[in-house]
Chain A
Amino acid sequence: MRTLSSLALAALLVGFVAPALAQGTGNTSISVEQPWARATPAGATTGAVYMTLDNKSGTADRLTGASSDVADKLQIHEMKVENGVMKMREIAGGLPIPAGGSVVLKPGSYHVMLIGLKKPLTAGEKFPLTLTFEKAGNVSVTVPVQAMGATEDKGGGMGDMHDNQGGGMGHMEMK
């Protein structure tokens, strides 16, 4: 019971604090550039989303989570091949984005892993994704699905930014 009530309290706190953080002091902004995902094989229940996260602010931030309707669960992962062995790990504590710097999520490196896909991702489709940053709050983007063999966003453009609830700024706005 104690755990439950602390959880409830924490939830309550987060409920109040998170939106405040999201609106923040206006000194952080994360631009999400060229989000894309790979089409997934039939029957596959996992997928990966890639993008560039550009921190235009003077404050370091962190990608702490993500959500989307297309999958049950999303995690921030790092993948690497060491001595011919593929290793994939959730990044505990989120992915740091240095002040004034950028982090590229790409095949062979960081990705947002989609777990429990409700249906395969098909090339040409798009789906919504909300990223949660420690300081910049929530940033929602539309993710185009590229062919399975794609190695980068082939759309030639950026995901449409919309529903920008946090201090994050859309790519469009940065140009």
Chain B
Amino acid sequence: MPKRQIFLLALAAIAGFSGMVLCIAFLASSTGPSKDTRTGAIGGPFSLVDDTSVLVTESALAGKPYTIYFGYTYCPEVCPTTLLDLSRWIKELGTDADKLNYVFVTVDPERDTPQLMHAYLSSFDKRIRGFTGTPEQIAKIARQYRVSYKRIPTEDGGYVIDHSSIVYLMGPDGKLVSMIAYQENDASALAKLRNLVALTPSS
């Protein structure tokens, strides 16, 4: 009981502060996602570390079409849902699934260590690889993919992250082919993925 009362009290005490945070968040979000008007291209070279702590660059994805999704393990809903959807689609693709690479890039490099990402991804299709890096490296790749992400502080000193919830489908040349929206239906997502598979260079 006392715990609950303290919680209530804390809740009251932070109500004002939360309001302030919300206002700031609203103002910040009204500026919209960061735009890169320099170039129409999405994607580009990167230097990151994968969930087995191995350094990776764009060459790790070269030669195969790939899907790339940005999120974070602290995310309670959208990220697990998307990774689960993706896992289901991978299964649906059958043997064609191996013609693609699948990448999950964290937008929370400070909390998402390779070890944590590896454990997290063990709950999904094993073919999905996790990429993390320094905050600067993550900022760079997010910019390249025009992924907007923004830290929103929470009253307890922690934070949540607003982030783009789109799965990008990239060709074997690293160029954007199409995108899958959050909770897009299976038929539509699978059609896009099959189109992507068809772009696999003949060897």
Contacts from A to B (Cβ < 8 Å): 7, 10-11, 14-15, 18, 38, 40-48, 64-65, 67, 73, 75, 79, 81-90, 92-94, 107-108, 111, 113-115, 130, 132, 138, 148-149
Contact = CB atoms under 8 A, between A and B. Distances in A.
Interface residues of B, number: 51
B25 A89 contact: yes
Contacts of A46: 74-76
Nearest to A40: B80
Nearest to B158: A115
Contacts of A94: 11
Given A87-B162, A88-B76, A115-B158, 11 more contacts: A38-B80, A43-B116, A44-B73, A44-B120, A65-B7, A84-B165, A85-B33, A85-B148, A86-B164, A87-B29, A92-B15
Given A43-B116, A87-B162, A64 B78 contact: no
B126 interface: no
B78 A81 contact: yes
Contacts of A130: 4
Contacts of B152: 88-89
Residue with the highest number of chain B CB atoms closer than 10 Å, among A7, A67, A82, A84: A84
A34 B11 CA distance: 26
Contacts of A132: 4, 7-8
A54 B120 CA distance: 35
Contacts of B158: 115
Contact of B120 (A11, A41, A86, A90): A41
DSSP class of A's interface residues: helix, strand, loop or mixed?
strand
Residue with the highest number of chain B CB atoms closer than 10 Å, among A44, A45, A107: A44
For the complex of A and B, 8 pairs with smallest distance between CB atoms: A43-B119, A41-B123, A92-B18, A46-B76, A86-B165, A86-B78, A48-B76, A43-B120
Given A81-B165, A92-B15, A42 B8 contact: no
A29 B126 CA distance: 47
Interface of B: 2-9, 11, 15, 18-19, 22, 25, 29, 32-33, 73-78, 80-81, 83-84, 88, 116-117, 119-124, 148, 152, 154-156, 158, 160, 162-166, 181-183
B148 to A, nearest CB: 6
Nearest to A15: B5
Contacts of A148: 80, 84, 123
B123 A42 contact: yes
Given A41-B120, A85-B163, A73 B156 contact: yes
Nearest to A138: B4
Given A92-B18, A92-B22, A48 B7 contact: no
Contacts of B83: 41
9 contacts: A40-B80, A41-B122, A48-B76, A82-B29, A84-B181, A87-B162, A88-B75, A92-B15, A108-B183
